[in-house]
Amino acid sequence: MQSKTFTIGRFRRADYDVATQQLDLHRDDKTVFAYTHVPQEVFRRLCSAPNPTTYWEDRIAEEYPKGVPMSKGAGADDTAQKFQDLFGGGE
């Protein structure tokens, strides 16, 4: 899997799986946008864009099917986060 960290815009990180052509975009607020069937060249251009958020808006958001974010393993923290995402923070 390839990853790129961003310091500008709303996204903090992009993860790309070459085998499945899935792109996961991690936002400031910890949400993840997942897209499928994304060519590797699109990921490369996103990583080299002056503003990744603008590139995403113009070239990715409406162009590729949405998917389910890739998991980094089903640890306790991931399970708790999934539960909170489903049912809210209980506040």
Domain ranges for the chain: 2-86
Residue-level pLDDT at 81: 59
Please report, in tens digits, the pLDDT of each residue of the chain (91 residues total): 999 999 999 999 999 999 999 999 999 999 999 999 999 999 999 999 999 999 999 999 999 999 999 975 434 455 555 666 667 655 4
Please say whether the dihedral angle defined by the alpha carbons of residues 44, 50, 55 and 56, taken in this order, is positive or negative.
positive
Give the separation between CA 12 and CA 6, rounded to whole angstroms: 5
Residue-level pLDDT at 78: 56
Give the separation between CA 30 and CA 52, rounded to whole angstroms: 16
Extract the tokens encoding 3: 């990853």
Residue-level pLDDT at 82: 60
Residue-level pLDDT at 22: 98
Extract the tokens encoding 58: 């113009």
The three-point CA angle 77-4-13 to 5° equals: 45
Residue-level pLDDT at 71: 75
